[in-house]
Amino acid sequence: MSQQNKNEWPLWEVFIRSKAGLDHKHAGSLHAADAQMAIENARDVYTRRMEGVSIWVVESKHIRASDPGEAASLYEPATDKIYRHPTFYDLPDEVKYM
Amino acid sequence: MSLIYTLRLADDALILGHRISEWTGHGPILEQDIAITNTALDHLGRARSLYQYAAELFNQLPDAQKTSAFTSVAINALVAAGTPVDEDDLAYLRDSGDFRNLLLTEQPNGDWACTIARSFYYDAFHYFYFSALQHSSNAALAAIAAKSLKETTYHLRWSSEWVIRLGDGTEESHSRMQQAIDNMWMYTGEMLTMSAAEQEALAAGYGVDIAQIAPLWQNRVKEILDEATLSLPSGTWMQQGGKDGIHSENMGFILAEMQFLQRAYPGMEW
């Protein structure tokens, strides 16, 4: 297994900005030998139907993910704190687009 | 006449695009399979634009010139019937002798290094060629060249990086890349030699001076080969003929595969 991994190109996570002013969003992942090739592969795999104007890549091994086993302690305490949503204010009619 | 000049560029794009498209589904890795297929589509898109323009030029010719333009029976039958030709007729109804693509473009894919070497020589030349042709006095050719330049800039970057990656890679990748660079070398001379149609185009103001592009191409090739730790081939004998319709046996096989359906079932669409 480790021998097989040694012969494979590393995995990269790809983030695409669909147009100027918007955020880069995770689009998927792909294999590439280096960062430059990762950007070019991303261009060919993820922007060939005009999906983007900017690409970020980061090697997947650099991503730290939260532990699903800790979901109860990390996320559930927020479920009964609906007052954190700013929905308890009366907005004057003059304020638009909120 | 500008018909021959335009057709030659179209034939280059169609034949190289077809060759590259043979990799579809066979690329060394999924991501590169998609990359090279995108490139094939760029070439085929360029071929379409050029054939559409060539068809327009052909249909405007006086009848006497129409009947003497091609030697292929199938397209001459259309001409004799007075039917205007279109892009598909030019691609599917001409035989090898009427194609004027470079011999380089019809070379078999071989291994990955061979495909890369063929594209690298072609891309490095056409980057400079389209840079010049986008200022052509012919508006249609200038517009196609401007669009092609953007695609070719990327193709050249892609093929150059592969030459460097394989040349400056392992012992095996280095020797295979050197072999491919050496094997394709004798087909590069034809690119740098002007045909009668190209000289006429230059004199008339819509063509490109290949004598000015040749040293730019040589410098770029040397630069990339140096970086790839590969040696510049030194052979001086160059194979010629493609620009005059004299092709290798490869061309018959390419056309047989590409044209079979339209020849067996004329006008078939799906």
- Determine, yes or no, domain membership for B86: yes
pLDDT digits (tens, 9 = 90+) for B26-37: 999 999 999 999
Chain B within 8 Å of A41 (Cβ-Cβ)? yes
SS (H, E, C) chain A: CHHHHHCCCCEEEEEEECCCCCCEEEEEEEECCCHHHHHHHHHHHHCCCCCCCEEEEEEHHHCCCCCHHHHHHHHHHHCCCHHHCCCCCCCCCCCCCC
First to last CA, chain B: 35
Interface touch B38/A48, C-beta < 8 Å: yes
- Determine, yes or no, domain membership for B223: yes
Looking at residue B105, which CATH number applies to its domain? Answer: 1.20.1260.10
The domain of B65 spans 2-264
For residue A31, what are the CA distances in angstroms to A59, B87, B116? 9, 38, 20
pLDDT computed for residue A87 by the predictor: 78
Chain A within 8 Å of B34 (Cβ-Cβ)? yes
pLDDT digits (tens, 9 = 90+) for A43-84: 999 998 888 999 999 999 999 999 999 988 888 888 888 888
- Whole-angstrom Cα distance, residue B40 to residue B20? 5
Query: Which range is least confidently modeled, A28-32, A85-89, B65-69?
Result: A85-89
pLDDT computed for residue A5 by the predictor: 61
What is the domain class of A2-62 according to CATH? alpha beta
What's the mean pLDDT in B202-207? 95
Q: What is the ipTM of this complex?
A: 0.74
**pLDDT grade for A89, boundaries at 50, 70 and 90:** confident
Q: B34 CA to chain A: closest CA distance, Å?
A: 6
- Determine, yes or no, domain membership for B118: yes
Report which of residues A80 and B24 the model is more confident about.
B24
The predicted model scores a pTM of 0.89
Which residue from A31, A36, A41 is facing B35, i.e. has the nearest CB?
A: A41
Which residue from B31, B157, B161 is facing A44, i.e. has the nearest CB?
A: B31
- Determine, yes or no, domain membership for B71: yes
- Determine, yes or no, domain membership for B210: yes
Interface touch A33/B165, C-beta < 8 Å: yes
Provide the number of structural domains found in chain B: 1
